[in-house]
Amino acid sequence: MIGLWLQDGELALRGGLTRPQPPEGEALVRVRRAGICNTDIELVRGYYPFTGILGHEFVGVVEHAPDGHEHLRGRRVVGEINAVCGACAACAAGRGNHCYNRTVLGIVGRDGAFAELLTLPAANLHPVPDDLPDEAAVFTEPLAAALQIREQVEIDATERVLVVGDGKLGLLVARALASTGASLCVAGHHVDKLALLAGQGIETLAVREMSKEQIERVLRDFDLAIECTGNPAGFATARRALRPRGTLAMKSTFVGSLTVDPSSLVVDEITLVGSRCGPFAPALELLASGAVRVADLVADSFPLSEGLAAFEAARRPGTLKVLLEVA
């Protein structure tokens, strides 16, 4: 089979890759669509020393399912990306996403979705509703990650919430949080992308068109700020916008270090929350019901055979979601 292979910071389209053989308890999935995530781009830049097939956002069809999971055979599915041992202290405590022995699809120790076939534990797979198209179902994993913020931080209608960043992650987070009833604001640099939130009751601020004084006057006293830019400037903006005892949630993964003033975190008693994978079932429900729309977040689509060109398109500043058509 063919796939996008990462090794020593070099991404290549490889043919002749070995067809994966699912171990006990795992399913074999033929990938139909896959999405390129900023994490994939950061892995190429050296975010984590991964070697293998990239990709963790996918929708596919189960070709083989293990005993006890026969109902999955032939079904379209999406999949949770953490494959856990079920036996370590973290798993026993209900923290499976932080299993000490986990592998992570296309990120840690497990080949990913930018190939014709992948394997995952059958327990990780979620059937896709028949009327949900592949191009929407492929957003299940990133939408679940956006919903994880609601699992970690209590948000109600009294809260002022700031999303920093108007890329595909920031727009998805904003749409995921719109139903909380909170006073929601998205700050970004691109008027055209902010316009995608029009009519959804979400305030937007095009900071590129504002002076530093205007930004500092408007972006302040938020209860919760969510950093979705993937760069240190976004973190700084989110931090400055918080009231004392506010919460800063970080959704981005990126190469490099942050310059943080620890004294300000202590004096203002800021809560810092890292946020990654989230619940698939509500993500699928929101996509299937149309409560969260994603069609306008797709910038382009490429066949897997043009995967390198797809990555180049995804790397361009301001680009929204780029999809790979695998089958």
Q: Assess if residue 281 is contained within a domain.
A: no
What pLDDT is stored for residue 317 in this prediction? 87
Whether residue 203 is found in the same domain as residue 260: yes
Same domain, 163 and 266: yes
**How big is the CA angle at 234 (ends 172 and 7), to the nearest 5 degrees?**
75
Compute the half-sphere exposure of residue 313: CA atoms within 13 Å on the CB side of its CA: 18
pLDDT in tens, 268-310: 999 999 999 999 999 999 999 999 999 999 999 999 999 999 9
For the chain, the average pLDDT equals: 95
Range of the domain at 28: 3-139+294-325
Let me know whether 68 and 158 are in one domain: no
Judge whether residue 231 has pLDDT over 90: no
Amino acid 308: pLDDT: 98
pLDDT digits (tens, 9 = 90+) for 28-83: 999 999 999 999 999 999 888 999 999 999 999 999 999 999 999 999 999 999 99
Report the interhelical angle of 307-315 vs 38-45 (nearest 10°): 100
Per the structure, the count of domains in the chain is 2
Q: Are 35 and 123 within one domain?
A: yes
Inside any domain, residue 237: yes
Contact in structure between 278 and 141 (CB atoms under 8 Å): no
Q: Is residue 285 part of a domain?
A: no
- Mind giving me the DSSP string for 254-299? -SS-----HHHHHHTT-EEEE-----HHHHHHHHHHTSS--GGGEE
What are the CA-CA distances from residue 178 to residues 116, 157, 294 (Å)? Answer: 36, 10, 14
Q: Which comes out higher in pLDDT, residue 200 or 124?
A: 124
Are residues 163 and 119 both part of a single domain? no
CATH code where residue 222 lies: 3.40.50.720
Examine the domain organization and report whether 119 and 217 are in the same domain.
no
Q: Render pLDDT for 87-106 as a digit per residue (tens, 0 to 9).
A: 999 999 999 999 999 999 99
Q: How confident is the model at residue 259 (pLDDT cuts 50, 70, 90)?
A: confident
As given in the structure block, the two tokens for residue 40 are 């994939």
Q: Are residues 95 and 132 in the same domain?
A: yes
Environment class of residue 70 by beta-carbon count within 10 Å: exposed (0-12), middle (13-18) or buried (19+)?
A: exposed
According to the model, what pLDDT value does residue 200 have?
87
Q: Which pLDDT score, from 0 to 100, does residue 110 have?
A: 97
